[in-house]
Amino acid sequence: MLLDWICRSGRLLALLAPLALASPAHGTAFSTDNSDLYIATNEDGWGVELFQRGDVMFATIFTYDADNFPVFYTATLLFSGTNASGNAVWVGDLYETQGPWFGAPFDRSKLKYRKVGTMSYIPQFIEAGALTFSVDGVTVTKEINRLTFALDNYAGMYLGAYKIVASSCTNSANNGTFNTVAVFTITQSANALNIVAADSQGGSCTFPGDYSQFGQFGQTRGSFTCTTGIQGGHVFFEMNVTPYDFRGRILGTDNFGCTLNGSFSGIRQ
């Protein structure tokens, strides 16, 4: 039977309860978190910062004006639905702000806002999207990518669980949603991540892979093997880690012809 490594016992709910304490610092329940610093490929010196909470994003563009002097613009972007490709669309008015000199006491009366145009952002992949903004009649469209400053460190041991949805299996009896309580043991080097997920029945699956970083998100891909004989290919993506927990999503296939889709989370031990 597909995914013998899945634990179906009622103990799952009791063991999942502590996960409610996991840090939400990097997440939003509305969508993949778009919060990050973004740049356009091979265009150094300017960029966009997005900060998302729920269905609202605050955007700051730091760039240069027609005289090559630094200037920044801000916008509050609201979710406005999806486009024909199914991608989310965020739109809002773009403003230029003037205010008191930072070296003087703050004087709110000197704060001035001027609407200069509009801005939209369409995430096309987890790590990239299309930015369009207009300033005083000049419209710019850029493909932007999350900027990576450094690699996150996932090494450690975590108590948690993962959910796998198996579909399109060769034997349709193997299709279904499965939940597993697991202890995750992770080792990491600069370009490699190895995850061992051990269940309460003494079985385990090992997920070795490369490692890459896209802004706040990590990603690893490779081939996995389980002590039950199940094996296949996997991608762990949209991964976050804090001093307290880690989480992410899974895509993969196995030797039963199944397509695998799921998520995982664990509290650091």
Looking at the fold, whether 164 and 224 belong to one and the same domain comes out as yes
pLDDT of residue 206: 97
pLDDT tens digits, 213-264: 999 999 999 999 999 999 999 999 999 999 999 999 999 999 999 999 999 9
Task: Among 118, 146, 174, give the residue marking a domain's end.
Answer: 146
Looking at the fold, whether 106 and 201 belong to one and the same domain comes out as no
Looking at the fold, whether 117 and 77 belong to one and the same domain comes out as yes
Asked whether residue 197 is domain-assigned, the answer is yes
Pairing state between β 217-226 and 128-135:
unpaired
Alpha carbon distance 180, 139 (integer Å)? 50
For residue 200, the domain's CATH number is 2.40.128
Q: How far apart are the first and last CA of the chain?
A: 32
Looking at the fold, whether 200 and 259 belong to one and the same domain comes out as yes
Task: Among 89, 121, 146, give the residue marking a domain's end.
Answer: 146
Asked whether residue 3 is domain-assigned, the answer is no
For residue 139, the domain's CATH number is 2.40.160
108 exposure class (CB count in 10 Å sphere: 0-12, 13-18, 19+): exposed
Alpha carbon distance 39, 158 (integer Å)? 33
Looking at the fold, whether 141 and 163 belong to one and the same domain comes out as no
Looking at the fold, whether 113 and 196 belong to one and the same domain comes out as no
Looking at the fold, whether 137 and 92 belong to one and the same domain comes out as yes
pTM of the model: 0.84
Looking at the fold, whether 157 and 184 belong to one and the same domain comes out as yes
pLDDT tens digits, 44-101: 999 999 999 999 999 999 999 999 999 999 999 999 999 999 999 999 999 999 999 9
Looking at the fold, whether 186 and 103 belong to one and the same domain comes out as no
Q: Which residue has the tokens 């739109």?
A: 91
pLDDT tens digits, 94-150: 999 999 999 999 999 999 999 999 999 999 999 999 999 999 999 999 999 999 999
Looking at the fold, whether 130 and 179 belong to one and the same domain comes out as no
Asked whether residue 216 is domain-assigned, the answer is yes
Task: Among 120, 146, 172, give the residue marking a domain's end.
Answer: 146
Q: Domain limits at 98? A: 36-146
Asked whether residue 203 is domain-assigned, the answer is yes
Q: Is the pLDDT of residue 28 over 80?
A: no
Looking at the fold, whether 191 and 90 belong to one and the same domain comes out as no
Alpha carbon distance 108, 30 (integer Å)? 34
Asked whether residue 205 is domain-assigned, the answer is yes
Count of domains observed in the chain: 2
Asked whether residue 8 is domain-assigned, the answer is no
How many Cα neighbours within 13 Å face the side chain of 107?
Answer: 9
> Using 50, 70 and 90 to split pLDDT, how confident is the model at 190?
confident
Asked whether residue 98 is domain-assigned, the answer is yes
Looking at the fold, whether 158 and 142 belong to one and the same domain comes out as no
Query: What does each C-alpha distance from 196 to 115, 158, 222 come to in angstroms?
Result: 53, 10, 13
Helix (H) or strand (E) holding 12: helix 11-16
Asked whether residue 20 is domain-assigned, the answer is no
